[in-house]
Amino acid sequence: MSEMQLPLVIFTVLSQTAVGLVVISAVRQHAAEGPVGRVRFEWLTAAILLLVGLGASLFHLGHPLGAPTALKHLGKAWLSREGLGIGVFTALVIAGFLSAKGRVNAALAFVAAAVGVIALFFTGMTYAPPSFPAVNNAMPIVFFLLTAAMLGAGFASYFTPAEKMPLVTRILAVSLVVGLVLYLAVPSLWLSGGTVMQQTGMNHLLSPLYWGRIVIGLVIPLIGIWKMRTVPSWAPVLILAGEIMGRIAFFSLTVHAASNLGGIY
Amino acid sequence: MKKQLAFYIDSRRCIGCFTCAMACKNQYHQPYGVIWRDVYELKEEIYPHRERAFYSLACNHCENPTCLNVCPVIAYYKREKDGVVVHEQDKCIGCGNCIRACPYGAPRYNPVLKRAEKCSFCWQRLDAGLKPACVLGCPTRALQIVDLAEFDEPNAVQYPAGFPRYPGLNPSVRFRLPAMPKMIRRKL
């Protein structure tokens, strides 16, 4: 999308991390037997991630004070729906943190998780406009769900008791494998599209950002998990670095349809 | 069909002089780098001749405008009386969503005002009974305005090679294709 869009990179990655963290926390507390871990601190982390992300998102606006008016077009604009979804999700996460006594109330935890996933869907639709043929489809939603799964499971490992680490390790390992296969396959699929999609595919395959993300964010953490049979404490940090690189690639290497006016599409 | 104004780009007549783009610039004095109308040369893969051919492009005032649909602050509206898509810049918060979403690259970011902006079809001039500045400025009449409700040119094309095809948006623009040059060779 021609620019790095750093505020949007920070906002999307951190908000999706929070969604994953809350979903895994809800499952770990209420859908699996045994101790639940440091839930209150986990929800505080999710709230901080969301607030930092929302703060960063203001910096991509020409007029940040006008941000509240971005909720005016809920009938049609996915960006308005995204703003509402993330706003409600943030409120629920803060409520979960404030009300948690050992555990977060089951209904609140699952409602927050569901709203988070819906908000993630809205974000995916926002970044799938017709002007970018390579991502004018369900791929942004899939990318963002993978971010939530990988970073959610990764960061959840810091708050998970030893008894439930195998569950979180399995979720993270499966997410990393799916992510590795998907991110290796997608650029080659783009190569089979029209000129603009091919340019997007080539931009990725020739970019150190893309390969850096594959190695740092996916391969090395997978090897670490495979060797140690659990989530190493350094793995979530590497996955976060990889996701940030991947999101910068998403915004900067995806080619706009208008870039080839006068040429073949 | 309701009245829908559209640009008619006659590529047979266009000589690539950029007068339309300059007329737009003279009319609105956009800051450096902010271009509402531009002239695109057809690439050799489409028009492989010694002669050159051009499309003069701006906002297409689509029947179903993406810019309007994605704008979170409802800064765009489509005029009932002529289908012109108007951007109300004072409402814009500069989120860039319309700029990312329009496949024709019509909305541009104004770094001075920190808001988006685009071709307005010179609606103020239209309301005064005048032609848009670009149409008025074109020395070869290669750029014209037509009403699609009445337009009946059998050779007009909506999606020529070199112009992205988005039927869902239904851009209000029609083209006359450039002439194929006649090759004259001496008999050996």
pLDDT in tens, B14-32: 999 999 999 999 999 999 9
- Cβ distance A71 to B72 less than 8 Å, yes or no, reads yes
Q: Looking at the domain assignment, is residue B31 inside a domain?
A: yes
Q: From B53, which residue of chain A is nearest by alpha-carbon distance?
A: A262
pLDDT beneath 70: ranges in chain A: 1-4
Show me where the domains of chain A are located.
Answer: 6-260
Per the rule left: phi > 0, alpha: psi between -120 and 50, beta: everything else, A102 is: left
A130 → closest Cβ in B101, B161, B163: B101
Q: Looking at the domain assignment, is residue B99 inside a domain?
A: yes
d(CA A257, CA A168): 41
- Nearest C-alpha neighbor of A89 from the set A16, A6, A40, A9: A16
A34/B174: higher pLDDT: B174
Contacts 24+ apart (CB under 8 A), B64-68: B64/B168, B64/B169, B64/B170, B65/B169, B66/A129, B66/A130, B66/A131, B66/B98, B66/B101, B66/B102, B66/B103, B66/B169, B67/B98, B67/B101, B67/B102, B67/B106, B67/B107, B67/B118, B68/A76
B44 Cβ neighbours under 8 A, 6+ residues apart: none
Asked casually if ipTM beats, i.e. exceeds, 0.95, the reply is: no
For B87, the 3-state DSSP assignment is strand
Q: What pLDDT does residue A39 have?
A: 94
CB A201 within 8 A of CB A191: yes
Q: Looking at the domain assignment, is residue B148 inside a domain?
A: yes
Q: Is B180 exposed, middle or buried (0-12, 13-18, 19+ CB in 10 A)?
A: exposed
Q: What pLDDT does residue A4 have?
A: 60
With contacts defined as CB-CB under 8 Å, which chain A residues touch B92? 62-63
Best to test chain B binding among A79, A135, A255 (most B CBs inside 10 Å) = A79
| Residue B71 forms contact with A (CB below 8 Å) | yes
Cβ neighbours of B147 (radius 10 Å): 15
Best to test chain B binding among A131, A200, A259 (most B CBs inside 10 Å) = A131
Angle between helical axes of A78-99 and A6-30 (0-180°, round to 10): 50
Q: Which two tokens stand for residue B96?
A: 């860039």
What integer is the mean pLDDT of B131-139? Answer: 98
Angle between helical axes of A165-191 and A235-253 (0-180°, round to 10): 20
CB B166 within 8 A of CB A130: yes
H or E stretch including B29?
none
- Angle, alpha carbons A20-A21-A25 (nearest 5°): 115
B111–chain A nearest CA distance, Å? 9
- Considering chain A, what is the average pLDDT of its residues? 95
- For B49-80, write each residue's pLDDT tens digit: 988 999 999 999 999 999 999 999 999 999 99
A82–chain B nearest CA distance, Å? 10
- Nearest C-alpha neighbor of A36 from the set A164, A173, A147: A164
Cα A151 to chain centroid distance, Å, stands at 7
For A101, the 3-state DSSP assignment is strand
CB A10 within 8 A of CB A52: yes
- Angle, alpha carbons A2-A3-A4 (nearest 5°): 135
pLDDT of B100 > 90? The answer is yes
Q: From A256, which residue of chain B is nearest by alpha-carbon distance?
A: B103
Best to test chain A binding among B93, B104, B166 (most A CBs inside 10 Å) = B93
Q: Range of B50's domain?
A: 5-176
* Confidence band for B181, pLDDT divided at 50, 70 and 90: confident
Domain A6-260 fold: Formate dehydrogenase/DMSO reductase fold (1.20.1630)
Q: Looking at the domain assignment, is residue B46 inside a domain?
A: yes
- Cβ distance A258 to B103 less than 8 Å, yes or no, reads yes
Chain B (116-155) residues lying within 8 Å, Cβ to Cβ, of chain A: none
H or E stretch including B161?
none
* Amino acid present at A243: E
What's the CATH code of the domain at B136?
3.30.70.20
Q: Looking at the domain assignment, is residue B188 inside a domain?
A: no
Q: What pLDDT does residue A3 have?
A: 64
- Nearest C-alpha neighbor of B4 from the set B72, B64, B88, B70: B64
A101–chain B nearest CA distance, Å? 38
Q: What pLDDT does residue B182 have?
A: 81
Q: What pLDDT does residue B188 have?
A: 73
CB A23 within 8 A of CB A167: no
- Cβ distance A262 to B169 less than 8 Å, yes or no, reads no
With contacts defined as CB-CB under 8 Å, which chain A residues touch B165? 265
For A241, the 3-state DSSP assignment is helix
Best to test chain B binding among A5, A261, A265 (most B CBs inside 10 Å) = A261
A262 → closest Cβ in B71, B115, B162: B162
- Considering chain B, what is the average pLDDT of its residues? 95
- Cβ distance A77 to B161 less than 8 Å, yes or no, reads no
Q: Looking at the domain assignment, is residue B27 inside a domain?
A: yes
A130 → closest Cβ in B74, B103, B162: B103
- What is the number of domains present in chain B? 1
